[in-house]
Amino acid sequence: MTAPPTSTADRRAPDRGAAAVEFALVLPVLLVILFGIIDFGRLLNAQITTNQAAREGARVVMLGGSGTEVTNRVNWAVGSTGVATATVNQACPADPERTDDARVTVTYTFRFVTPVGYMAGIFGAGQDDVMVLSSRAVMPCRG
């Protein structure tokens, strides 16, 4: 018959290293969650910025601006986040009717900064670390 443990160290001896193993199991999950929060926040900001850029482009078209002016305004609205591509789908005629609209589509290429982008690519959300965001804006022509 063995004697009962006499000290605290003797009682914890069989559990030695269990915390390290648990931490090793939980750490990857925590890192994926952290990286997901970071990239999701950036992605949401990029989508909001793309929406604003499309509205700015449609406003320039509504006021009779050229394609170069639309591109410049869209890139101004995007700011330092990158370069967007503006496409004027429908321009305002010289004498617009009440039903005429200016339509602009803005496309923006978003790049992930964490490994979450590669994991999203595995599940079909994008290609590797890139996701293409698109936004369309419509404004009535001035008549």
Cα angle for residues 81, 86, 91 (degrees, 5° grid): 145
Domains and CATH numbers, the chain: 16-140 (3.30.1300)
Higher pLDDT, 73 or 128: 73
pLDDT of residue 54: 93
Single pTM value for the model: 0.75
Range 31-35, long-range pairs (CB < 8 A, 24+ positions): 32/116, 32/119, 35/114, 35/115, 35/116
Containing 87, the helix (H) or strand (E) segment is: strand 84-90
Helices 18-62 and 67-78, interaxial angle, to 10°?
150
pLDDT of residue 9: 57
Q: Tens of pLDDT along 1-58?
A: 666 666 665 565 667 788 888 899 999 999 989 998 998 999 899 999 999 999 999 9
Torsion-angle region of 136 (φ positive above 0: left; ψ -120 to 50: alpha; else: beta): beta
pLDDT of residue 50: 93
Q: Tens of pLDDT along 96-124?
A: 888 888 899 999 988 888 887 777 666 66
pLDDT of residue 26: 94
| Position 127 pLDDT exceeds 60 | no
Q: Tens of pLDDT along 51-100?
A: 999 999 999 998 888 888 998 899 898 887 777 888 888 888 888 888 88
